[in-house]
Amino acid sequence: MIDFRYHLVSIIAIFFALAAGIVLGAGPLSDTIDDTLTDQTSDLREDNRRLREQLETANEEQAYQEAFVNEITPRLVSDQLEGERVAVIALPGASEDTVEEVSEALERAGAEADLTVSIEPAWTDPDSEPVLDQLATEMVSSGTELGAGNGFDRGAAVLAAALLSRSPENGEADAPARTVDTMVVTAYEEAGMIQLGHDASTTPTMAVAVAGPVSGDDADERLSRLLKLTDELRANSDGVVVGGPPATAQNGLVAALRGADVEDDADEVSTVDVIDLPTGRVAAVFALAEQQRGGSGHYGIVGDTDGALPPVQDSDAEDDDEDPGTDDGSDSDDEDPEDPEDVEDEADEAGNN
């Protein structure tokens, strides 16, 4: 059993240790400790200064790159979408600035980006299913199949058919362009499901959907509803590109589209995960041009992508395929005086004469 003398000795030892520490700290070790702290503080200040300089340099480089791309974008995308009608669909959470910048990039590419529609956050609310189902039932037009899906599916089918249309087939080259179904658009707007930004009379044949972050405990369910809407947009058009900031490719709509379990036409949708950057908007333009040619891909910096942007179509490719002909316009079937067979024929004719 530990007695009182043991406790007393322990307490005395502790006080001796404290006294020794005070004496050493105030005497022989004080200068060493002060010098060490001074050196460490100086090193930290220097590291902090270097990091600030690196951050400033990185910000300046980023600003320069964005300014450079903004200046060269008109040349990069010029005529890539000449005459195409493209809708800009702002999905819940999309940045208004990004939506506006996407419209500007499309116009620089020669497209008519007159129609801008915002999908309200209420679209993905669970309580919106009966509202969308009723809208779809009341506003469905001939030629649109509602199918056996839920209210979100049916509502997406009717809205997509009202906003978009496919280009005429080869045998219908002279068919008049369809007009946007304003009755449907108005009904959905009054129900609080969408908001019409810029209007267009003629239906676009392609679309760029700008996605935003989706969060909450029911994020997966909300993403599935947006995925179905994207599927219907693709089914009613010649092509759709969905773009967003990098976060949307980590756990948002872009990630869902890049996943294996996509529905129907959604696997033909192209994605860009840096559409908030000038380079990403250039990629979106080229992705739409690729959709015109029947292709699709996923572009950006997050995960396993198909690269920074789709292969750029050479504008001179068609000219290279054409027969160049001859410079003097002579018939290609004319005899070549240097052809040995022609020379031999002429010699035979001379001998016969």
Residue 216 to residue 189: CA distance in whole angstroms? 25
Q: What is the mean pLDDT of the chain?
A: 82
Q: What is the pLDDT of residue 193?
A: 96
**β-bridge mates for residue 210, sequence order:** 90, 243
* pLDDT score for 87: 96
User: What proportion of the chain, given as a percentage, has pLDDT over 70?
Assistant: 77
Q: What is the pLDDT of residue 28?
A: 55
DSSP state of 155: H
pLDDT in tens, 27-51: 555 566 667 778 788 888 888 888 9
Mean pLDDT of the region 310-319: 62
Between CA 276 and CA 207 the distance in angstroms is 17
- Give the C-alpha separation, 94 to 70, whole Å: 21
163-173 mean pLDDT: 76
The phi and psi torsions of 241 (rounded to 5 degrees) equal -120, 130
| C-beta separation of 204 from 111 below 8 A | no
Contact 278, 69 (CB under 8 A): yes
- Taking the whole predicted model, whether its pTM rises above 0.75 is answered as no
Element (H, E) at 271: strand 270-272
In residues, how long is the chain? 353
Q: Give the mean pLDDT of 242-270.
A: 84
> Is pLDDT at 350 greater than 60 in this prediction?
no
Stronger pLDDT, 324 or 16, i.e. the higher one: 16
For residue 195, what is the enclosing H or E element? strand 194-198
The per-residue pLDDT for range 213-225, each reduced to its tens digit, is 998 889 999 999 9
Nearest CA to 226 out of 260, 269, 184, 190 is that of 269
